[in-house]
Structure 1
């Protein structure tokens, strides 16, 4: 698929041009003719009206597709030039505080602005030629129609409770009862070690069936422990074991060698009767010795497309079930049932040939349209789906009806390996770095826009399996949906793995590396490159890192996580467009170059796990656009006038700082900060008083998971003038912590939605009277607090509470036994209760 998506790029450019006008900066001062910019704006505005129709016509007209490609290339060039103008203005405004910049016309700045002026003129001339060609096509103005049928989904809160996502509840699944009961019957037999295979083509519902079995009450009653692991396309045994341990304990043990991980896993499994589900894997021969330590009655379920001799082979749904499922998706939430749309919908459901994935996606996308032409377009273009590629062509019909801004964001998801899943933090920062987030409300935060986009894609069933993980939300794409995104991105995104060895290709804009050995010391490409990402288990060399920085001056995203780098090159300062820099787990790096403070566009800087980093650069205060900072360092104290000057920060993570005793005293200046995470800082004595001045703070995590260390963090604070209104509070691994500070409850009485207390051996009870004021509390989670034994009497006063999760609190677990436990009457009103990893009560639990 060679489709060109241009509308959102033009929107971004028009927004930038309008921003330059609003700022009222005399661009002529910088050698740029204002008339040239006005001409560009006029041409782009004329294109805007017809682009949506052009994007639709390109599906059947190669000449239109070629015209759109020329326009897109010109737009990317214009975006680079306009960003340089914005940075030039920013440098001039910041000249009062930045010693290295002079507001006078130095030879270097003059040369820069003359280059910008030349670039702008060349782009205008290119656009003139493209405008002449538009007369060859009969495009229609579809902008107003586009906004009418593709209005934004209302904003939603970021916290996703279990009730928010019931994608695999029994009520959403059809014609699988017999298969489910057959599998459960086989699992409940007390014979020796056995493997059950669930097989069938992609999109038939294999994983959905597996989850119904996995979550059945009888499974929880039969097995001591259970694990669910999704296998990556490339077999990484270490990653698989990490995922198994995480499935069992909720801990991510990614700092161990593989032999240590094997020992940890086998210690958990030894003698236990376990259920293991291996999604997308049928051959388990390489894992048998690792898993053999469990009880002989343990069972394994494999889910794969290949058929085994003793497998449960699934079949497509009946027309009746397809129709019911389609109508449920297309007319949900009280949408008016137009008789004509119902008639067309019946035809669409029949043509879906029993494929539940296709039915759900097409139905969910058509929910957002009341235009009969859109429904007819889907109906008339569904072709028989005998093979997977034919199913992809049908799924593409749903993609065709996406709003233009969602198309661009959806395609960008292909940069990430599907098997790793997604999280809202990383994906939103990536979209933000590429300027894909826009809103009619100028006061709406980019992070909120990004969350709204994720929800829009979720409601169209393009994202699934959402799960709240205290400080972030994880979710996935179905394998076929990810393949669809990858096909649309094939001319912009390039993937380096064992399947593709020709990596010296010109013209692509995103490079995703899952096998660094294939690259060796140099990567091919051009100045068009905007993203370079190396993923887990990959260690790019120092030479390769230098090659990327020198070859790609227009990068927006650079992800060198987990590399062997010892020194980040000084040349990093040349990446003037860089907005996202990830150096997580670079365990050899000791210092960052002083030139890093010249990255004035940087919005995200990730230095977590860089345990040998001696200190943050003194001039980090100059990264004025930084919205997210996560770091580790060997510093004893964080000085004033450093991080405290980063007033754009929304998320701050301080972790694995084993020498840190004091935070920066001017933390109260971070008035925009929404999330503060402090972890594994065993010598940190107390929170600075300035924390009480963080008026925008919504999420606070205090944790120490380093075994053998003892954190004595004190959280006392005067009750006067407390400003934070927390929505989420997590306290994890604080040995001396035994009760919730009163100030935390007081300042969050009307806002706190999620409270988690984990690994606190001296925590005994929740306060009775203050707890009742938490009228907004939705999720209460208590884990590995052995002294915790009971709940306050008036738990019914927590009227918003929808979920209780308890793990490894022996006395309390006994008191919460369903029906007979002493504390059961206190919690029986809560809709969902999870005890020691097993769901004992749920509205959609069988």
Structure 2
């Protein structure tokens, strides 16, 4: 477990304790001074952890850090009591019952009893923390001020030399970059600069960005293109003065440089910034130059613009190549689109591996090792540095068992040198802010190659309390979206797709290894090969049936997450569930999807910290215990796909924290009282409710943002007029549904128009020959429109051309749809258009030949199916990762069996 991981845990706890709401609560219950004392000591310990990161000798510190972790976890459990107490009070007040109020006054939850208990618990935890702080000083640690920030250990400075014969598989990439160097400048960079082009090369650490830049830099054709070439490794802090010095030095360090010029180079460190910029402009004046800025980490746009102003002195056609791991940095700097570097092919990886594992030609003597090497290469996922790392570790080792050990081990378990793959990737981790590092770590609970949606990972982060609003105004869902955007920007996510209201993505295998390395005993994935689970585990997932040996699981009471992420893998042992519920009283996230038990134990109500309960796809469960309403911290409840579920508990409305509710039920009518007090509800889903005819019509859902109805065959209408904040609507396979609003109802809320951004309609919605009239109310906000298998749809409304924010339009298997409305070229924000299974319309949209092509040719990504194809092609599925079952998946064609919702 790394110092940074423990630091992030301590930092997260300090952030919660420092919130305005928490401080107000502590004052109200008379424990403010006790809390401040704890915070002060925790701040000291956090500073000690920063110093521990810098120490080479960490002998004995592992147990010390483990104690800090335990104290922080116990403290969070105690401090959650403030929130629980507040929610109990809300329920009591909302009930209006005098008996309940009197009972609460004399219970263990009364204000007086609560104040006494909290004071005692805070004192106990503070005493433990004081001892840990004292122990830290005995290790020779000193408190480092938080203002100094964490020291980031960066890679060594790069240079421009490369032996091209040592580089494998980058010939095509080199040709593409040289083509870009030969191209004229695009139409400016948004800052009025038309003389300086920037070509960003982007990718994760170890992918070979620097190597590719070297290949280009040393190509003879580049010498003919540019009069002056300069190589600068930025890497460390983006100090403009130092970068200018490096540029000038690089310009002087040419083969033709005289001894006098080199002597002059040695003195420029003493020049001030004014003298340096003058020298730089003189050097670049009249020159067509190529400048490589390698390893950029700076995200401050003002600094970049300031530097760019100083290096504009070359003639038109001068270019900069910038390498970075960050998409946002590339976007900030680039005048050309980012060149996103892909991994090497398996054949190239094998060639590179053999080059590092054997002397030249030696591999022919060891065919058995080569076969094992092919399997080792697969785990490198195309990343050359990973290939080199593993190949180097096996150089001159001809024992097959050693190769098998490398093949079967996680990369983070193998010995690593400073410039090997894991340390290089850890640089990206070290560079991230604390809150982002903390969230990233929990990807390690899921298996490799797992397909995530933003909705699904948000549930976990929310349950673990990782989504803290800085100003108290952001919702957890919006905070999580910002975090995912930033992780994607930093190249931590791959196969990234933006569906408007949610994202789909994966985590690169090597970055998954990094998450495992950081979390170590904190998180574990349980399969048939798992022999034991550490007592320190707080989060685990089970990915194989038959791996649930009760002796395997730790006796610890500190487990916070239990997860079944793989479809078809669930809990069958009721006794195991009873054990978990009784033992793991601090659970925050309990995923029992694909399980098979008829009832939940009544003891589930003891899980007072539980925030997510997923029972989806349990084919046996019929009801919940009525005492479920005592789980007042519960934020997500999923009964989706519980086909035998009979009726919702009447007291469900007491779950006042509920934000997401997924329902499958045999009820034909659901009592209005179930929803009356759910004032925080953000997402509501009705799925496979075959008997349900009517939804609520008298409850005003002032917070609901996402409504999903799927396979509700008897549902007649949707009361959309009572959903003023609706942002996403999914209607799938509801054959009796009329999407038109009732008479005398409009879809405008009191503050203006609807704010809908996402609309998905699919599967035989009757009488839908065009979109409902209320679509007019969302023309200014809609960003994603998905229409699938609508066999009666004949035309799209003209208002479609006024949807100026529309980014994605997906139309599939609407065979009677023959026309696009005129004016489609007005949709300048439209980035992705798919039309398929619409025979005549596909013919009219064919690239360069179709009648409609001039209207849609401006769109960045256009996919048009074959004209004249009336039936859906076999194996072709058109659906976004469907939101109704956001836990596991079985119908998204791009994803293999390891995937998530």
Same fold (TM over 0.5): yes
Shift of 1:27: 1.9
Paired residue for 1:320, among 215, 218, 240? 215
Shift of 1:346: 7.9
Paired with 1:103 and 1:492, the residues of 2 have a C-alpha distance of 38
Paired residue for 2:689, among 646, 650, 657? 657
Shift of 1:57: 2.5
- The answer to whether 1:146 aligns with 2:175 is no
1:636 aligned residue? 668
Task: Provide the secondary structure at the position in 2 that maps to 1:436.
Answer: coil
1:760–1:340 CA distance, 2 compared to 1 (3 A) = farther
Paired with 1:341 and 1:597, the residues of 2 have a C-alpha distance of 65
CA contact 2:599–2:622 (8 Å) conserved in 1: yes
Shift of 1:532: 0.7
Paired with 1:36 and 1:642, the residues of 2 have a C-alpha distance of 40
1:443 aligned residue? 473
Deviations 1:344-373 (A, max 9, x none): 9989879xxxxxxxx977577998999xxx
1:67 aligned residue? 64
Paired with 1:477 and 1:322, the residues of 2 have a C-alpha distance of 32
2:35 aligned residue? 37
CA contact 2:652–2:674 (8 Å) conserved in 1: yes
2:337 aligned residue? none
Paired with 1:493 and 1:598, the residues of 2 have a C-alpha distance of 29
- Range moving further from structure 2, 334-343 or 737-746: 334-343
Task: Provide the secondary structure at the position in 2 that maps to 1:489.
Answer: helix
Paired residue for 1:133, among 135, 142, 152? 135
Paired residue for 1:508, among 517, 526, 537? 537
CA contact 1:43–1:128 (8 Å) conserved in 2: yes
- The answer to whether 1:722 aligns with 2:627 is no
1:402–1:829 CA distance, 2 compared to 1 (3 A) = closer
CA contact 2:52–2:141 (8 Å) conserved in 1: no
The structure number with the bigger radius of gyration is: 2
2:104 aligned residue? 103
Task: Provide the secondary structure at the position in 2 that maps to 1:13.
Answer: helix
CA contact 1:561–1:583 (8 Å) conserved in 2: yes
Task: Provide the secondary structure at the position in 1 that maps to 2:761.
Answer: strand
Shift of 1:540: 1.1
Task: Provide the secondary structure at the position in 2 that maps to 1:418.
Answer: coil
Given the two structures, how large is their TM-score scaled by the length of structure 1?
0.70
Task: Provide the secondary structure at the position in 1 that maps to 2:546.
Answer: helix
- Range moving further from structure 2, 790-799 or 335-344: 335-344
Structure 1's unaligned 5+ residue stretches are 151-172, 181-201, 209-314, 351-358, 371-380, 840-846
- The answer to whether 1:404 aligns with 2:434 is yes
Deviations 1:265-291 (A, max 9, x none): xxxxxxxxxxxxxxxxxxxxxxxxxxx
Matches within 5 A, 1:68-83: 68-83=65-80
Shift of 1:653: 1.3
Given the two structures, how large is their TM-score scaled by the length of structure 2?
0.66
1:711–1:733 CA distance, 2 compared to 1 (3 A) = farther
Q: Give the aligned length.
A: 654
Paired with 1:40 and 1:204, the residues of 2 have a C-alpha distance of 42
1:538 aligned residue? 569
1:827 aligned residue? 856
CA contact 1:761–1:786 (8 Å) conserved in 2: yes
CA contact 2:543–2:569 (8 Å) conserved in 1: yes
Structure 2's unaligned 5+ residue stretches are 154-168, 177-203, 220-229, 251-290, 297-321, 334-384, 394-410, 415-419, 868-875, 877-901
2:458 aligned residue? 428
Paired with 1:147 and 1:368, the residues of 2 have a C-alpha distance of 26
Shift of 1:605: 1.1
Shift of 1:20: 3.3
CA contact 2:3–2:50 (8 Å) conserved in 1: no
Shift of 1:176: 3.7
1:817 aligned residue? 846
Deviations 1:608-645 (A, max 9, x none): 11111112111111111111111111110122121242
Task: Provide the secondary structure at the position in 2 that maps to 1:830.
Answer: coil
- The answer to whether 1:550 aligns with 2:582 is yes
- Range moving further from structure 2, 108-117 or 819-828: 108-117
- The answer to whether 1:684 aligns with 2:682 is no
1:742–1:88 CA distance, 2 compared to 1 (3 A) = same
1:92 aligned residue? 89
Paired residue for 2:639, among 607, 611, 621? 607
Paired with 2:218 and 2:484, the residues of 1 have a C-alpha distance of 27
Task: Provide the secondary structure at the position in 2 that maps to 1:817.
Answer: coil
2:736 aligned residue? 711
Deviations 1:277-336 (A, max 9, x none): xxxxxxxxxxxxxxxxxxxxxxxxxxxxxxxxxxxxxx9858435999x999989xx997
2:822 aligned residue? 793
Deviations 1:668-703 (A, max 9, x none): x22121111111111111112xx2242221111111
Paired with 1:592 and 1:330, the residues of 2 have a C-alpha distance of 59
- The answer to whether 1:9 aligns with 2:9 is yes
CA contact 1:558–1:582 (8 Å) conserved in 2: yes
Paired with 1:471 and 1:329, the residues of 2 have a C-alpha distance of 39
Paired residue for 1:175, among 171, 178, 188? 171
1:364–1:2 CA distance, 2 compared to 1 (3 A) = same
- Range moving further from structure 2, 541-550 or 340-349: 340-349
Paired with 1:471 and 1:105, the residues of 2 have a C-alpha distance of 47
